[in-house]
């Protein structure tokens, strides 16, 4: 008998994925490329602190869009605003010309997947439509997928809604474009608030724990909200729990 998903998830047809932290390891990737840049340009910087500060600028920058302080601005451009500020704060503003800044800013297009992402997605894709549902802009997500071999059926982005997660419009846009009632869409994320927002729009939810997202010394909140329909340790575990064949443990 073909393995089956849990009964509550039997009608799910599409999976939507948070990307930064859930599918890709942004922190290690940004640190590694920053270190190489620093070496090439002869800069001595705490690149882990730099990466964390860059990512730390993300939520406040989106809030400026959300509250109307900025018009709709793509994540690439929010990243660039934060980058320019951090180069000043870290005292290395003179070291990078415009071309270097543009190239460095696109490190967010070149993030490496977690070790289980590509194999897990390949298994999940056998049964489900797989779509990103990320705050990254479309071109960022397309470039990332092409480089990393992420087998999306469809690249969906906050950019298409003109709203950033966790605004409800983003989830509603995804269900509408996938032509599925929200209860047939499973949101997959490593962040509780993303899943809670999806749940409020009627999505099913799967929490994938990524304890290393913020580095080996961080102690992220990995607590499980009882509303979550599924909890998994990685994408192969997620595929196992959805009853898909072909896993390393099956």
- Residues 207, 230 contacting (CB under 8 angstroms): yes
Helix residue ranges per DSSP H, 106-137: 117-125
Of positions 62, 78, 148, 178, contacts a copy of itself by CB under 8 A = 178
CB 184 → a copy of itself: shortest distance, Å? 12
Q: Does 23 contact a copy of itself by CB under 8 A? A: no
Alpha-carbon gap, residue 5 to 21, rounded angstroms: 25
Name which of 47 and 108 has its Cβ closer to a copy of itself.
Answer: 108
Name which of 143 and 192 has its Cβ closer to a copy of itself.
Answer: 143
Name which of 47 and 104 has its Cβ closer to a copy of itself.
Answer: 104
**CA Rg value for the chain:** 18
Alpha-carbon gap, residue 201 to 102, rounded angstroms: 37
Alpha-carbon gap, residue 54 to 42, rounded angstroms: 20
Q: Does 129 contact a copy of itself by CB under 8 A? A: yes
Distances in Å between the alpha carbon of 242 and those of 10, 115, 201, 237? 9, 19, 22, 9
Residues 150-169 interacting with a copy of itself (rule: CB under 8 A): 153-155, 159-160
Alpha-carbon gap, residue 40 to 36, rounded angstroms: 6
Q: Does 147 contact a copy of itself by CB under 8 A? A: no
Of 59-67, 135-143, 222-230, 241-249, the window that binds a copy of itself (rule: CB under 8 A) is: 135-143
Residues 66-95 interacting with a copy of itself (rule: CB under 8 A): 76
Q: Does 179 contact a copy of itself by CB under 8 A? A: yes
Host H or E run for residue 232: strand 230-232
Q: Up-side HSE of residue 23: CA atoms within 13 Å toward CB?
A: 31
CB 129 → a copy of itself: shortest distance, Å? 6
Name which of 159 and 240 has its Cβ closer to a copy of itself.
Answer: 159
Closest CA to 52 of 82, 95, 84, 19: 82
Size of site (CB under 8 A) for a copy of itself: 19
Residue where the block lists tokens 């940004």: 30
Name which of 111 and 178 has its Cβ closer to a copy of itself.
Answer: 178
Name which of 131 and 238 has its Cβ closer to a copy of itself.
Answer: 131
Contact residues for a copy of itself, defined by CB under 8 A: 76, 129, 131, 137-139, 142-143, 145-146, 153-155, 159-160, 177-180
């Amino acid at each position: 008998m073909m393995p089956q998903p849990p009964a509550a998830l039997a009608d799910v047809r599409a999976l939507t994925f948070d990307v930064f932290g859930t599918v890709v390891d942004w922190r290690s990737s940004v640190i590694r490329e920053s270190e190489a840049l620093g070496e090439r340009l002869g800069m001595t910087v705490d690149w882990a602190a730099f990466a964390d500060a860059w990512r730390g600028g993300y939520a406040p920058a989106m809030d400026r869009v959300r509250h109307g302080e900025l018009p709709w601005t793509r994540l690439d451009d929010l990243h660039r605003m934060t980058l320019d500020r951090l180069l000043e704060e870290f005292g290395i503003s003179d070291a990078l010309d415009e071309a270097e800044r543009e190239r460095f800013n696109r490190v967010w297009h070149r993030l490496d997947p977690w070790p289980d992402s590509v194999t897990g997605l390949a298994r999940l894709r056998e049964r489900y439509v797989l779509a990103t549902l990320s705050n990254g802009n479309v071109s960022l997500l397309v470039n990332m997928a092409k480089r990393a071999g992420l087998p999306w059926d469809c690249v969906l982005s906050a950019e298409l809604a003109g709203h950033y997660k966790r605004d409800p419009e983003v989830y509603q846009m995804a269900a509408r474009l996938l032509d599925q009632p929200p209860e047939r869409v499973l949101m997959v994320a490593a962040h509780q608030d993303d899943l809670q927002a999806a749940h409020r729009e009627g999505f099913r939810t799967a929490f994938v724990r990524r304890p290393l997202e913020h580095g080996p010394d961080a102690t992220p909140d990995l607590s499980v909200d009882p509303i979550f329909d599924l909890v998994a340790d990685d994408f192969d575990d997620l595929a196992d729990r959805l009853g898909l064949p072909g896993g390393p443990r099956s």
